Homo-oligomer: A and B are copies of this chain.
Amino acid sequence: MKGSSATVGQLERFLRSRGLRLTRCRKLAVEAVEACGAHFGIEDLKAAARAKGLRVHRATLYRTVPLLVEAGILRKVSASGGDRGEYEKGLGRGHHDHLLCLRCGRSIEVSSVAMEREQARLCARHGFLAVDHQLRIRGYCADCRSDGQPGDAARRPGRESAVIVAGRR
């Protein structure tokens, strides 16, 4: 995995541009991100760090993570219900939205050009300048909707990308 070092580079560039320092803890944070799943919270980062025998204080991570977001390395999402703050890697991967299954808890990452276009149109109509957006659709995934119309489980995604993420902590 060389993803980590590339990310550190990204972080360093960002920090430089802001007159901030590339510290042990900040490097550690991006490494911890690599060790986490698709969606994670700040406490997960702390756990990942400790698993490597490195210690960081919660408060420090709470200060660091917003920087990673600003640097474009992380993205804040509310993929699941939205209780705890959740993040995901935001570097390199294009923007995507989430389909959250209420039964199996899986989170399916999707993206749709048509959708983005429609959002842009909506903003334009309101004279609104969009910076980012988040769409979460809750419902039942193909595997789980068997209650209701059974036999639908084998759908294939069309030309959209779809990443199924392990869900349910």
Contact = CB atoms under 8 A, between A and B. Distances in A.
Chain A contact residues, majority secondary structure: mixed
Contacts of A19: none
Interface in A64-114: 76, 78, 81-83, 85, 97, 99, 101-102, 108, 110, 112, 114
A134 interface: yes
Count of chain copies: 2
Nearest to A156: B127
A115 interface: yes
A102 B131 contact: yes
A23 B153 CA distance: 42
Contact of A99 (B123, B142, B152): B123
A27 interface: no
15 contacts: A78-B82, A82-B82, A99-B123, A101-B128, A112-B118, A119-B137, A125-B160, A126-B142, A126-B158, A127-B142, A128-B145, A131-B139, A132-B139, A134-B135, A135-B135
